[in-house]
Structure 1
Amino acid sequence: MTDPKSLEKLRPCGRLETHSTVRHDLGLYNNVACAAYYSPPNPVQPAPLEPLIHSALGKVIFSHPILSAIPLNENTSSPYFARLPTIDLRKCVFFVKRKTGFHKGGDDAELDSIIAEQHNQNFKSELGSLPFWRLVVLTNSPPATKNQFAATWIFHHALADGASGLAFHRAFLAALQSLSSTPPPGMSESGAAESAIINTPTTPLLPPLESLHPLPLSIPFLLKAQWTDWFPSRPTTLWTAKPITSDPASRETKFRSNTLSQQATTRLVQVSRENKTSVTATLECLVAAAIFSHLPGAEEGGGVDRVTACGATSLRRFLLKEMVSDESLGCWVSRYGFEHRRTRKGDPFSWAEARKVRQTINKELDKKGKDSTVGLLRWVPDLHKFFLGKMGKERGDSFELSNVGVFKASRMVEGEGCWRVGKVVFSQSGNVVGAGFEVSVVTGGDGCLVLGIAWLEGVVEGSWIEMVIGSLRAGIEELTKA
């Protein structure tokens, strides 16, 4: 095993990256998964799948140096990135044969199980030798269509944000396409890979967020944040699941995806636009309404009339285009918050509220990174102490909703004779010190929107989440019916 101290130091982790490394060190897992279904060109290329994937992944690693970087000194206030000189793909790429047929549409319990399993694994195994990401390839057995597979990229949040999951799959798709007309290198006559050890690039890492953006904070914003920290005010009728706990039994992530048809997805976009709001805002209000439908009202005594949502906002658009683009892998996000209140009468879903959520998101984006939550991280002197101090306390938010948008392939992989990405699934691990559960949203190359719901069993109960998911689906169906 490689001594981590012998690895080349690249740069210190930024404050947002440190936020994730500390959580990982404390066993609060902060990882992200992005899965995509791949279909080969027609006619199907005869190349064996394993060396093909290894070769394509080697191209992606060479183009994105963060994939060969690992955070070290996670147990300190000064973590840093170090470079792995080589990556043995046999130890971080795993091939799993399906027990059921390949899923062209609808939900996929086998893939959900893989995502949940990966969320519950850290990246400390063979520290200094393995990257802080894994790729799990789910293949057909027997293959109904040769070389058709679903690839799940699971990664430490310090390396990349949710939007990076789509960027990774675009790069991987482009690499597969570039190899489709020539045999992958390093393949023996039997089809086995002769070498799966990749020499990593020597290019420097992209800078951290605070080196690309000043993240300015106004005096009123700072004072408000400090006042809230010193004198927290929490309504008794706010639901945020069970309090933060150090109990290891309440740290197992469960995951379930829900897939909308292409028709329902198109209709959801259309009806949201007709009502002058966005899909993200519409879904957030539907989730809040679903929660309310399975909690007692405040008038019943000890009930609930408020839930709070937090959502991710990408700061990429405000960074130097020469440094960061939609194709970059890195962590450049902040967040917004919104409080939902139970309506006394009528439909629990409100288009007026969906418009307010959209206005809140737009207001956050209009600040262009000023007075952002992520900017406050510089004022937290000890993140270890910060997280440990949250144990036993109530959670700040009821649920988190992140929408990374629509997967779009690059122009070089469009048209006949190209590899294609269909359904995409996006997920984040259950949040030990954050919201009660996570809702992750993405629309794949097949035009189908997928909701990924992750929770910690014990923080919320699986049976209750299933009822919320059922009400959420019913709400979507009601809005999208012809």
Structure 2
Amino acid sequence: MDQFERLRPVGRLEKYSTARHQVGFYLNLAVAATYTLPNESTRPIKDYVFKACAAIIEEHPILSAIPAADDTQDPYFVRLPTIDLDQVVQFTQREQNSSSSTSTGDYDLSPDLDLQTILQSEHNKPFSAPNPFWRLHVLLDKEVNSRFTVALILHHALGDGTSAKSFHLSFLRALRSPSDGEISHTVETPRIPLLPNIEDIHPMSLSFWFLAKKIFQAKIYSPTDPGLWAGSKIQLPISTRIRLVPFSKKLVDHLRNACRQERTTITALLQTVYARALFMNIPKSFSRLNCTGAFSTRRFLPDIITEQSMGVYVADIEESYTRSSLFANDSVTFPWEETRRSRETIQAALDRQGADTGPSLLKFVNNYQEELCLSKIGQNRDKSFEVSNIGAVVLDEDPSLPCIQGMAFSQCASVMGNAIGVSVVTGGDGCLVVSLSWQDGVVEDDIMEASIETMKAELHSLAFRE
């Protein structure tokens, strides 16, 4: 790495992902988007993709950076002088008939199985220097030449889920700009500094009571709850399984209206619904589920960081659900009061503006690989599932311009984190896609398949409630 320009040190939150990747505990995240070009577009899809990539590399300097010395406690970013797009971008012809989730009714969609297969494969592939720590897998539509799906696979030290969504908005802007000129396959990287890491621009403060609680749990006493379900013990190797579950715009609109009436949000609803779905499909001896969530801290940061910035600017929330609270009366009556409680938990975290969250505790870690990862092997995990919603993409509907239709946000399994990942995004077509990920051998396939069907059935029921 000595031949590359040395940039700034890797920040603590970035180092958390660098360490997890280095020991094989978490490999990457992905956001995919389906694009449609106007009818007058005549160049090969590859030209449009390469042109957009060159523009995005120029806009986001983190895409030219890779972590060096990632096996130490002092990693730093270096800049790649050039990026060979032929090495970064892979093109695959679809096997299915359409790149859009196909309709099976006004409110039902079938999943994009080609994309699901690609994402499952990509989530099991790590990055290696001196290659870039991001890549694209492009699915070409066999029916419509002007339609294609771009899956961005990203190392979490380079960006979070919002960053991956921002990549696609930059990609769309590049598609909409004039495309004259020669298309280069080798891009020279911009000589501009990286954006600062979060701890350099945010206090990441900890209250006395929050810190005292965490120290007590870590050093003195943290009782094991025999009623907690969190999959099997922490184990290697990682092998990610993925399922994509799409919901139509009509159904999502109904759910959003129901949430407004009940004074809650889609994210809180999804947390509650999936907790109920799990309880219905795991043994009744389990009485508690622990849920975590992630939210962007960009709204609390200086103006240098915006919603369009690529970097790692996230914090976490914690929530728990009990079987008795979710099924207080019977299995049919939905507990909207639990969704309101979940919304209040999320809002309280937002009100703290990034204070008292897990990332702030990283300052007390001496050895990221050993303390946060390797020492956990063989232990019980304490987190059941995570819901991470990166929101909706809202675009103008101009048929004369390239546009984004469906999207999907997914993550690889987390070896020492939640047993199940529930990642959510709403595309430009208004359809919401839930991506579920889990580690092979940690959660049984029949639990996953049954919980997915239960979740789908309950969301349909809530959308069309009287």
Q: CA deviation at 1:396?
A: 1.8
Q: CA deviation at 1:347?
A: 3.0
The residue number in structure 2 matching 1:364 is: 349
The unaligned stretches of length 5 or more in structure 1 are: 187-194, 298-302
The residue number in structure 1 matching 2:406 is: 423
The residue number in structure 1 matching 2:435 is: 452
From 57, 65, 71, the equivalent of 2:61 is: 65
The residue number in structure 1 matching 2:330 is: 346
Give SS of 2:330's match. coil
The residue number in structure 2 matching 1:154 is: 153
Q: CA deviation at 1:81?
A: 0.6
2-structure distance, mates of 1:377, 1:44: 52
1-structure distance, mates of 2:77, 2:60: 14
The residue number in structure 2 matching 1:132 is: 133
Asked if 1:287 is matched to 2:274, the reply is yes
Asked if 1:376 is matched to 2:361, the reply is yes
2-structure distance, mates of 1:221, 1:30: 30
The residue number in structure 2 matching 1:192 is: none
The residue number in structure 2 matching 1:93 is: 89
2-structure distance, mates of 1:379, 1:446: 44
Q: CA deviation at 1:184?
A: 4.7
The residue number in structure 2 matching 1:169 is: 168
2-structure distance, mates of 1:171, 1:456: 32
Q: Which amino acid aligns with 1:406?
A: A
Asked if 1:14 is matched to 2:14, the reply is no
Residue identity over aligned pairs, in percent, reads 37
TM-score scaled to structure 1, two decimals?
0.92
Whether the 8 Å contact between 1:13 and 1:71 is mirrored in structure 2 is yes
Q: 1:454 to 1:275 in 2, by over 3 A?
A: same
The residue number in structure 2 matching 1:217 is: 206
Give SS of 2:448's match. helix
Whether the 8 Å contact between 2:27 and 2:125 is mirrored in structure 1 is no
2-structure distance, mates of 1:67, 1:147: 27
Q: Which amino acid aligns with 1:209?
A: I
Query: What is the CA deviation profile of residues 189-233 of structure 1, one whole-angstrom value per residue up to 9, with x for unaligned ones?
Result: xxxxxx400000001000000001011112221111100112112
The residue number in structure 1 matching 2:105 is: none
From 206, 231, 255, the equivalent of 1:241 is: 231
The residue number in structure 2 matching 1:324 is: 305
Q: CA deviation at 1:158?
A: 0.3
The unaligned stretches of length 5 or more in structure 2 are: 102-108
2-structure distance, mates of 1:207, 1:332: 10
2-structure distance, mates of 1:435, 1:29: 11
Pairwise CA RMSD: 1.2
Q: 1:104 to 1:44 in 2, by over 3 A?
A: farther
Q: CA deviation at 1:408?
A: 2.5
Give SS of 1:6's match. coil
Q: Which amino acid aligns with 1:384?
A: Q
Q: Which amino acid aligns with 2:318?
A: G
Whether the 8 Å contact between 1:137 and 1:149 is mirrored in structure 2 is yes
Give the ranges of 4+ consecutive aligned residues of structure 1 lying more than 3 Å apart after TM superposition.
Answer: none
2-structure distance, mates of 1:363, 1:38: 37
Give SS of 2:2's match. helix
Whether the 8 Å contact between 1:29 and 1:120 is mirrored in structure 2 is no
Give SS of 1:389's match. helix
The residue number in structure 1 matching 2:106 is: none
From 213, 227, 232, the equivalent of 2:222 is: 232
Whether the 8 Å contact between 1:36 and 1:425 is mirrored in structure 2 is yes
Asked if 1:276 is matched to 2:272, the reply is no
Q: Which amino acid aligns with 2:309?
A: S
TM-score scaled to structure 2, two decimals?
0.95
